[in-house]
Chain A
């Protein structure tokens, strides 16, 4: 097997399984009583934290590639990003079902048009009224077009430059995601602070590299003086 085949046949399937592991663990834990007695809260927290983790992984790939020179890393970026979207979607669905749907009144019974209407109204009101929900929803909304344009066909259709510009939205997703976490924490801010630090380093590295790539005026001056 050459290096290309190792990536395709071994490393990528392994990464895919790794990405699924938190979801598999949740299902297993839910059916074997390994979640707490408030399992819906556990599912919400676990899917949320994995969304953030996978966003960090996605953002870490380019800096790691630059530092290590291992260019094959780029082939894992789409998968990491899609897994982040996958957990973000599960997180949102858990919120919709366990937080919004479970809190509805059912004046016409559960299976009724009014249920759909009340659910939509309840979600809309909550996104409008609670800032940390607004931010979380904005983060997920930013991720959706990135997931939708993640295929090779879409890259071709958009053109590399435009595609790249659109996908810079992932920076906003990470910042909004961390803000969402920061805002909901009851008392201990250290966990969201850790994520904020990681995201700051990963975005800071990009700013640094972008700055370093531009020839600094002082250097140009130094050259002319020679």
Chain B
């Protein structure tokens, strides 16, 4: 259905579905073959696998336009880094588990339930969610609460567009986002480590902010399952866990939601969870971070470097209390 929005994409450019579904095997074979041909050492296998992973197409391309809101000053993390190191507990707590187990996730058909304080409640197919949207490439820093970070070229559109389609009422002060919780497809759900389904929330003005997007892809391609396919939230000035993945339900509410991480440990994770180098996690410092792929730490930036655009949302608020 995404292809409909991609008039400049020829059918010949679309990866065969079977090849797409088996893309990792294909890559592994290709990379292995290349390395064997080079007669390289074990180290060379690693290197050429990485090169192949960057050069070859992995899935279906998406037609996108660049965005002036992209962060252009920093080097992008690689496809491999972005798609093999994931926190997606529904597939297991190990960082490698999502890449291993999310392959089986069925993302078609997909629908999103629209509920709560809005005029247009009901169920929207993903096609309807995307109808009329121009997909933009948004390069954003992603700062995990665990003190590592990446730079990711997301593909998506402003959440505000979808919110407007839903016509929220004056009572809608917050928006809740629910991740899929399907035990048959998500092996991590057997562990009661968080309240499933995963719940995240934003204040209405945060949801309407132009930096807040719903992402459906990265690196110009359809979003890999382990990154939250088929549709996820991306809020670049907040810790990564605020950006709910594989969204099946959006609810407009009057009261501030208790997001899953806050429910799990309220003294460690709050509702706002804005990236803030001056407010430490009770057990570790948030003053610096390791950019994946780098050795020396970077100084963490207030609002993850997006303060110029978002600081005004929190004017007059005590960010030490509203962490």
Chain A residues with a Cβ under 8 A of chain B: 31-33, 36-38, 40-41, 98, 102-103, 130-132, 183-184, 186-188, 190
Contacts A37-B293, A131-B283, A188-B191 aside, 10 further interface pairs with beta carbons under 8 A come to A31-B42, A33-B45, A37-B85, A38-B148, A40-B295, A98-B295, A132-B283, A187-B265, A188-B93, A190-B191
CB within 8 Å for A183 and B283 given contacts A32-B43, A188-B191: yes
CB within 8 Å for A102 and B194 given contacts A37-B80, A187-B265: no
Interface residue ranges of B181-226 to A (CB < 8 Å): 191, 193-194
List chain B residues, Cβ under 8 A from A187: 89, 93, 193-194, 264-265
List chain A residues, Cβ under 8 A from B292: 37-38
8 closest Cβ contacts across the A-B interface? A33-B46, A103-B297, A37-B81, A32-B42, A37-B85, A188-B193, A187-B193, A102-B296
Q: What per-residue 1/0 map shows which CB atoms of B252-284 lie under 8 Å from chain A?
A: 000000000000110000000000000000011
Cα–Cα distance between A188 and B295 once the two chains are bound (Å):
28
CB within 8 Å for A40 and B45 given contacts A183-B283, A188-B93: no
List chain A residues, Cβ under 8 A from B296: 102-103
List chain B residues, Cβ under 8 A from A188: 93, 191, 193
Q: What per-residue 1/0 map shows which CB atoms of B43-81 lie under 8 Å from chain A?
A: 101110110000000000000000000000000000011
Contact call A33/B85, Cβ cutoff below 8 A: no
Contact call B264/A36, Cβ cutoff below 8 A: no
Name the residue among B45, B47, B80, B193 with the largest chain A CB count within 10 angstroms. B193
Using CB atoms, name the residue of chain B closest to A28.
B42
Cα–Cα distance between A150 and B89 once the two chains are bound (Å):
44
Chain B residues with a Cβ under 8 A of chain A: 42-43, 45-47, 49-50, 80-81, 84-85, 89, 93, 95-96, 146, 148, 191, 193-194, 264-265, 283-284, 288, 290, 292-293, 295-297
List chain B residues, Cβ under 8 A from A186: 146
List chain B residues, Cβ under 8 A from A190: 191
Using CB atoms, name the residue of chain B closest to A186.
B146
List chain A residues, Cβ under 8 A from B84: 36-37
List chain A residues, Cβ under 8 A from B49: 33
Contact call B193/A102, Cβ cutoff below 8 A: no
Contact call A130/B284, Cβ cutoff below 8 A: yes
Contact call B193/A32, Cβ cutoff below 8 A: no
Name the residue among B45, B50, B84, B290 with the largest chain A CB count within 10 angstroms. B290
Contact call A130/B283, Cβ cutoff below 8 A: yes
8 A-B residue pairs with Cβ-Cβ distance under 8 Å, sorted by A, are: A31-B42, A32-B43, A33-B45, A36-B96, A37-B85, A38-B95, A38-B292, A102-B296
Residue in A36, A102, A131 whose CB lies within 8 Å of B290: A102
Cα–Cα distance between A98 and B194 once the two chains are bound (Å):
30
Minimum Cβ distance to chain B for residue A84 (Å): 24
List chain B residues, Cβ under 8 A from A38: 85, 95, 148, 290, 292
Minimum Cβ distance to chain A for residue B303 (Å): 21
Contact call A36/B46, Cβ cutoff below 8 A: no
Cα–Cα distance between A184 and B281 once the two chains are bound (Å):
12
Minimum Cβ distance to chain A for residue B259 (Å): 14
List chain A residues, Cβ under 8 A from B50: 33
